[in-house]
Amino acid sequence: MRQERTIQATIFEVFAAHQIGYELKAVSDWLDGQRALLSLVASDLRREGLRPTGRRGLAAETVLRCALLKQQRQLSYEELAFHLEDSASFRAFARVPLAWSPKKSVLQQTISALRPETWEAVNRALIASAQQEKLETGAVVRVDSTVTAALMHEPSDSALLWDAVRVMSRLLRQATELPGAPAIHWRDRRRLAKCCATEIQYSRGKDARRRLYRKLIAATHATRAALQRAAARFTGLAGGAVARWRAEVDHFLPLIARVLDQSERRVLHGQAVPARDKLVSLFEPHADIIVKGSRDVQYGHKLNLVTGKSGLILDLVIEAGNPADAERLPADARPPYRPLRHPAPPDGCRRRLCQSRQSRSGQGARRQRCRLP
């Protein structure tokens, strides 16, 4: 059973006489006027087929406040759980019941259930409030880009092949433990693959490295063939565990095929693989290769941000690949949200603010257009 909001307020809701305490109190007062957001959060937390009875869970209001607290203070789930138990100001902001101390697993399970549409609704409500209080008009915007890194290690062909052997070996071990599973005979090549991947890192000379890569690629092909044979033997079996196992196999096999193809092209045949065709992680297959100027290569996603004069983020676009800023600037300069009354500058700007200025000849106000350098 989960409530939308904390009905009975506590008399111990006291914020510290500190700048952070004042900020939390201001955000808390703003959230009290946004009751519509609680319904969205409650619908995200409501699981299908769950009975509306039983033990009480965290209220939807508490989940939303904890999520905002985590984002604002840039905390991990473990740090958030500690501060909710240790800090009176954090507990007052999150409105956690007195006898409750949510663990990091509970916080992760509830906060991660919030959909992107819910976060967009929070941002829209914030922008609408800023316009209503005349803090942001949208007449002056700044467009800039940054990169958010994916949770992955530095990619290399040997590391990707070793990851592939490790993942397929895990799937083969799980297949032998499934209910009604037939006898599966396969060879564990993890030790061979790990030794080859380690030796490749410290090898010298193209011939020695190519010889090790041939052994590693052969081990990956053999493990892949064993997994395909095991998946074929599970064709007639039914059950939830078997279906989940097959879904995981169907997810990884095409990715492993891409890893094998790009490794053979790059290492054995000496071909150049375009960046848009490269797979840099089996576990984050959506990650892109981002290069900005002469800086280090980053792996993740390129973000285009539209910021108002007040510092509020008016719009955010997650790009596919690594498009040039000049290609995306006209699209980003469009009005980001309907609540904004004045449109953004038609050509936008980057690194500088575009604003209306009075011409020296007195012919009225005009909008300055800023181009990319």
pLDDT digits over 92-132, tens only? 888 888 778 888 898 998 898 898 889 889 988 988 888 88
Q: Of 85, 93, 75, which Cα lies nearest the Cα of 26?
A: 93
Q: What's the one-letter identity of residue 57?
A: G
pLDDT of residue 328: 66
The reported pLDDT for the residue numbered 322 is 81
Comparing 61 with 163, the larger pLDDT belongs to: 163
Give the model's pLDDT for residue 306: 85
Give residue 255's pLDDT: 96
Question: What's residue 1's pLDDT?
Answer: 55
Q: Give yes or no for residue 360 having a pLDDT over 60.
A: no
pLDDT, average across residues 30-49: 82
The residue-averaged pLDDT of 299-322 equals 85
Indicate whether 263 pLDDT > 70.
Answer: yes
pLDDT of residue 339: 43
For the cut 70, the answer to whether the pLDDT of residue 373 exceeds it is no
- Candidates 161, 169, 167; CA nearest to 263 is 161
Span 202-215, average pLDDT: 91
CA distances from 328 to 78, 146, 305, 371 (A): 38, 13, 11, 12
pLDDT score, position 311: 84
Tokens of 29: 């007062």
Return the exposure string of 305-326: e unless at least 16 CB atoms fall within 10 Å of the residue's CB, then b: bbbbeeebebbeeebeebeebe
| Residue 289 DSSP SS3 | strand
Check pLDDT > 80 for residue 57.
no
Instruction: Quote the CA–CA distance of 118 and 111 in Å, as a whole number.
Output: 11
Instruction: Report, in this order, helix, strand and coil percent for the chain, each rounded to 5.
Output: 50, 10, 40
Q: What is the pLDDT of residue 53?
A: 64
Residue 7 pLDDT grade (very low, low, confident, very high; cuts 50, 70, 90): low
Residue that wins the pLDDT comparison between 301 and 8? 301
- How many of the other CB atoms lie within 10 Å of CB of 372? 13
- pLDDT for residue 343: 37
In the predicted structure, residue 270 carries a pLDDT above the cut 80: yes
- Does residue 209 or residue 295 have the better pLDDT? 209
Model confidence at 89: pLDDT above 60:
yes
Mean pLDDT of the chain: 81
pLDDT of res. 329: 62
Q: Which amino acid is at 267?
A: V
**Segment among 71-75, 174-178, 253-257, 337-341 with least mean pLDDT:** 337-341
Whether pLDDT at 298 is above 80: yes
**pLDDT at 369 > cutoff 60:** no
Contact 152, 287 (CB under 8 A): yes
Q: How far apart are CA 218 and CA 40, in angstroms?
A: 51
pLDDT band at 225 (very low <50, low <70, confident <90, very high): very high
Identity of residue 79 = E
pTM for this one? 0.68
Query: In this predicted model, what pLDDT tens digit does every residue of 318-330 receive, in sequence order?
Result: 888 887 777 766 5
pLDDT at 304 over 60: yes
Measured from the Cβ of residue 50, the count of other Cβ atoms closer than 10 Å reads 11
